């Protein structure tokens, strides 16, 4: 996976996404920040299912957890499951138009957050209300721009 052509594009895009997640935002906006790292991960899985899979999903999940200080592994479990869903049905998801794809991504991201919330609650964290699902709604809006941007990157650097 590391030696193949253009692997660095995949890793670089994920690191950039993690940096964007860490950019400070006003407290009242925090709930709305999209999950950039998950969107980027989902794009690469959808585009190159033979190459990017559950292991990278696990790594991205663990890095996200390390960054935001949540229990390490809570996001990773969800992202592995979500990526499994994409791996099983990527041919179908690719046929969808932008709107349908966005909805699928929104659903997958809310799945990740639901699992994360459950696991964190086991460990004594407390979530108030259903606000933890808000990022799924905002991520959904950003799926098409992220996809188009990464697609042109992929074509430019001929990552296959």
Select the span of 6-14, 72-80, 101-109, 148-156 touching another protein (CB under 8 A). 72-80
Distance CA 107, CA 124 (A): 26
Q: Which of 22, 91, 95, 158 binds another protein (CB under 8 A)?
A: 22
Binding of residue 91 to another protein (CB under 8 A): no
Long-range CB pairs of 118-122, under 8 A, 24+ apart, other chains included = 119/71, 119/73, 119/74, 119/77, 120/70, 120/71, 120/74
> How far apart are CB 51 and another protein at their closest, in Å?
13
Distance CA 158, CA 160 (A): 6
List interacting residues with another protein (CB under 8 A).
Answer: 18-24, 26-27, 30-31, 33, 53-55, 57-58, 61-62, 66-74, 76-77, 80-81, 84, 87, 117, 119-120, 123-128, 131-132, 134-135
């Amino acid at each position: 996976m590391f030696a193949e052509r253009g692997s660095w594009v995949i890793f670089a895009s994920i690191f950039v996404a993690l940096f964007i997640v860490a950019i400070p935002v006003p407290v009242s906006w925090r709930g709305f920040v999209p999950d950039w790292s998950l969107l980027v991960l989902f794009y690469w899985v959808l585009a190159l299912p033979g190459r990017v899979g559950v292991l990278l999903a696990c790594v991205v999940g663990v890095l996200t957890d390390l960054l935001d200080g949540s229990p390490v592994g809570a996001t990773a479990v969800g992202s592995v499951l979500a990526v499994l869903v994409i791996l099983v049905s990527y041919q179908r998801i690719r046929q969808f138009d932008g709107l349908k794809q966005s909805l699928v991504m929104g659903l997958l991201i809310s799945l990740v957050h639901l699992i994360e919330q459950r696991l964190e609650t086991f460990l004594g964290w407390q979530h108030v209300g259903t606000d933890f699902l808000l990022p799924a709604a905002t991520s959904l809006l950003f799926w098409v721009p992220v996809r188009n941007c990464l697609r042109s990157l992929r074509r430019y650097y001929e990552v296959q």
